[in-house]
Amino acid sequence: MNRYDVLQILFYITALVCLAKPLGSYVADALEGKSVLQGRMFGSIESLIYRLCGINPGEQMNWKGYAGALLALNALGFLAVFLLQLFQLHLPLNPNANGPVELALAFNTAVSFMTNTNWQSYAGETTLSYLTQMLGLSVQNFLSAATGAAVFAALARGLIGRKVSGIGNFWCDITRFTIRVLLPLSIFIAFLLVGSGVVQTFKPHAVVKTLEGTEQTIPLGPAASQIAVKQIGTNGGGFFNANSSHPLENPTPLSNFIEMLSLLLLPVACVFAYGRMAGNNHHAHVLLAVMFSIWAIGLGLALYSEHSASVAMGGLPLMEGKETRFGVTNSVLWAVSTTAASNGSVNAMHSSLSPLAGGVAMFNIMLGEVIFGGVGAGMYGMLLFVLLTVFLCGLMVGRTPEYLGKKIEKREIQMAILGILAPSAVILVGAALTCAVPSALSSLSAKGPHGLSEILYVWSSASGNNGSAFAGLNANTNYYNIGLAIAMLIGRFAVILPCLAIAGSMGDKLPCPPSAGTLPTDTPIFGVLLAAVVVIVGGLTFFPSLALGTIVEQLLMLKGAAF
């Protein structure tokens, strides 16, 4: 690692924060719907959508009504993607004549894109038609990201507002966020990607003759438009099988920087948006500092491991699974960021990372969507830990815990614990079950600790709605397609529904004036306490399994063993 690598990382962080701060103010205005300028620009389009869909934008929903509307939209999205895959052979925009997708795989893919996971057990260029990619997957990329932002907005209203009749209108929230935030950003990024060489065409795959005289098929398609929203919406599902390591999906260092910047832009902006909505920017800065601290420590460990000479490789750099046009630092920076953001896109193969770097990526996912996380999802995931931290501190001083002037009581903590522990339970139960099923173990490409890491990673990725993979595991089997789909559903909705329940419960309460026993949440001390709770919960839950996987593998690698 040289000074240019360090400068590149510093430039990335600087650009990210400088762009996210004003974008956060814009996002807050979009979610609150109070911006006169935004109303003039997008109001007529939104009004037309409301009239066509019979939506009353002034209607307030309680948390159950909000959850019902959310589940209905997601169910409709699942059905649309599922049917498109089954009947794509008979639909237009299928120049490569891709046939119907097998039922279990179609089910897995539909659930995956509905839940913002974008787990892919298929190769996009050989499995799906252009219509399925655009009308099915790309649309879900918008809607799943908007769903996360809507839940974040609802939870923020419940925590911040005085006693209100509802937590907002789900239909208005997703419409405003899609029209005002996701669409403009996606269009802009798509133009940048096309300009940097990412393919965007409706032509069929090209067949060319190589210098050796053999024929090679070069996959094409409308990739740039889907990649733009895949990154900005923290979706992560690639147009091509190799994702952003594919030369037509991420051809240059410029496109790599644009895509890598995009995947963290909205999650960081949502933190600034929360500070503006709560009227407490210092509190938002503390939350962002906690996120950046955990991310930076993981990045440092991963970079150290990857740049250290490997005994198993005879002292050579660890370049397996990495693109030479990006190098080690760009690959590690992307890997740590994509797992922190629940994005899941890759520009290198995570299974080929050093054990310590792969362990950092896995641990990021295991912590839940709290280190930046998905669009909106990162903030509502972190707010669950904030409530838990305030509650624990209240217990230590013997006072009723309060957050933003509202008392935290039994129901809120029950819901917060459910949202925090449900994905963790699915990871451990799924991994344990897989270890006991011979047909599931037959999908492994590696034995020993790396094989266990492949199992832990696949269940972590599904339950954490990340979508990246230790790709040595063959997940296109009925066991994994159905099991991982169930994990994705639990990992998504077992967090969303408790968040909405908390929003409804807290929204019914009147704020109390701060007292001498109120814990300030905008100080460095609170940031340290919050980080400790996040890491301890993750560490206590997963350290035993990580010790048998990546930690053992790292120690063995230092002795010259490889798996």
- How does residue 310 score in pLDDT terms, banded at 50, 70 and 90? low
Residue 479 in any domain: the answer is no
Residue 228 in any domain: the answer is yes
pLDDT above 70 for 309? no
Residue 539 in any domain: the answer is no
Q: How far apart are CA 95 and CA 34, in angstroms?
A: 45
Mean pLDDT (whole number) for 394-413:
88
* pLDDT attached to residue 253: 93
* pLDDT attached to residue 451: 92
DSSP string for 400-425 = --EETTEE--HHHHHHHHHHHHHHHH
Q: Which amino acid is at 54?
A: G
Residue 209 phi, psi dihedral angles, 5° rounding: -100, 125
Rg, Å, the chain Cα set: 23
One-letter-per-residue 3-state SS of 127-155: HCCHHHHHHHHHHHHHHHHHHHHHHHHHH
Q: Tell me the three state secondary structure of residue 60.
A: coil
Count of structural domains, the chain: 1
Provide the residue count of the chain: 563
Mean pLDDT (whole number) for 55-68:
94
CA distances from 314 to 133, 310, 317, 356, 556 (A): 43, 6, 9, 18, 14
Residue 40 in any domain: the answer is yes
Mean pLDDT (whole number) for 546-555:
90
pLDDT above 80 for 312? no
Residue 517 in any domain: the answer is no
Q: Which two tokens stand for residue 548?
A: 């048998």
Q: Which among 198, 189, 225, 531 has a CA at the least distance from the CA of 367?
A: 531
- How does residue 99 score in pLDDT terms, banded at 50, 70 and 90? very high
Residue 309 in any domain: the answer is no
pLDDT above 90 for 540? no
Residue 286 in any domain: the answer is no
Interval 452-470: pLDDT, tens: 999 999 999 999 999 999 8
Mean pLDDT (whole number) for 202-216:
91
Burial 428-437 (b: 16+ CB within 10 A, else e): bebbeebeee
Residue 69 in any domain: the answer is yes
Q: Which residues make beta-bridge pairs with 207? A: 217
Residue 40 belongs to domain spanning: 21-280
Q: How far apart are CA 137 and CA 224, in angstroms?
A: 13
pLDDT above 70 for 19? yes
Burial 130-139 (b: 16+ CB within 10 A, else e): bbbbbbbbbb
* pLDDT attached to residue 164: 66
Mean pLDDT (whole number) for 381-407:
90
CA distances from 224 to 195, 463, 547 (A): 10, 28, 40
Interval 132-161: pLDDT, tens: 999 999 999 999 999 999 999 999 999 997
Interval 274-299: pLDDT, tens: 999 999 999 999 999 999 999 999 99
More confident residue, 560 or 308: 308
* pLDDT attached to residue 315: 61
Q: How far apart are CA 151 and CA 156, in angstroms?
A: 8
